[in-house]
Structure 1
Amino acid sequence: MKAKVYVMPKNGVLDPQGKAIAHALGTLGFEGVGEVRTGKVIELELAETDPQAAKAAAEAMAKKLLANTVIESFRVELA
């Protein structure tokens, strides 16, 4: 079973990479772009076949390793 973990900076946490992207888009002529936030997507291939157990395992992985829960939030989707 595949799981995707989406990790984003929490609201209020500075995102310098997002600011750099927003600035670069403006210099390239893309107008009307407000705040840009960057994150990451991690795709996991899990041996688990039970959807609830797979989601629980992916959430545990995110809490322990994939996301810094002090400054990042995450969500898990099964594919």
Structure 2
Amino acid sequence: MYLGSYIKSIIQILLIRERLPLSFILPFTVLAAMVVSTSEPLTFCTAMFAWIITISSICFGIIGVNAAHHHPDIFHDGDTPR
């Protein structure tokens, strides 16, 4: 989910010919910190970075699907019944 959203945002920005905001390189600071703070090669750090992004994207997607979609007859504490 993260990678798809990231690529979609970059394509949209490029199609309207805007400059990429500085915030678009923010996710790669984690990768840079991994490379600088460990003695592992760049390929290993990149693979671990991809693994972290993949697992967090899956967890975020599962939580988002389960927490965002409810049946109209279900309500939470404090909600008014429909």
TM range (shorter): 0.3 to 0.5
The structure with the largest alpha-carbon Rg is 2
Query: Would you tell me which structure has more helix in proportion to its own residues?
Result: 2
TM norm structure 2: 0.33
TM norm structure 1: 0.33
Query: Would you tell me which structure has more strand in proportion to its own residues?
Result: 1
